[in-house]
Amino acid sequence: MSTNDATVTPLRPKRPCPECGRPSARETYPFCSTRCKELDLNRWLKGVYVLPGVDNDADTEEKAPEPPRD
């Protein structure tokens, strides 16, 4: 049974690599190479991909409960 590459459906569509923009590779999806995959992992480990948070101290000072009135 012979298979033609044109009739085989890829498991994932090729997308641009998030690091360099080249087409992604099956082995390192969604990246194009091991190098780009490791660059992204390094950024995660260094904390580059951090979402800014809200300062909780400022919220608690503004919303302090009022004392009950007699």
- Residues 12-31: tens digit of each pLDDT: 778 999 999 999 998 999 99
Q: Which residues is 23 bridged to in the sheet? A: 16
70 in a labelled binding site: no
Helix (H) or strand (E) holding 26: none
Other beta carbons within 10 Å of 3 = 7
48 in a labelled binding site: no
Read off the pLDDT band of 43 (50, 70, 90): very high
Q: Would you state the pLDDT for residue 59?
A: 53
- Provide the whole-model pTM: 0.56
Q: Would you state the pLDDT for residue 5?
A: 58
Q: Would you state the pLDDT for residue 58?
A: 57
Phi, psi of 15 (to 5 degrees): -125, 160
Instruction: Write the DSSP string, 48-67.
Output: -S------HHHHHHHTPPPP
20 in a labelled binding site: yes
32 in a labelled binding site: yes
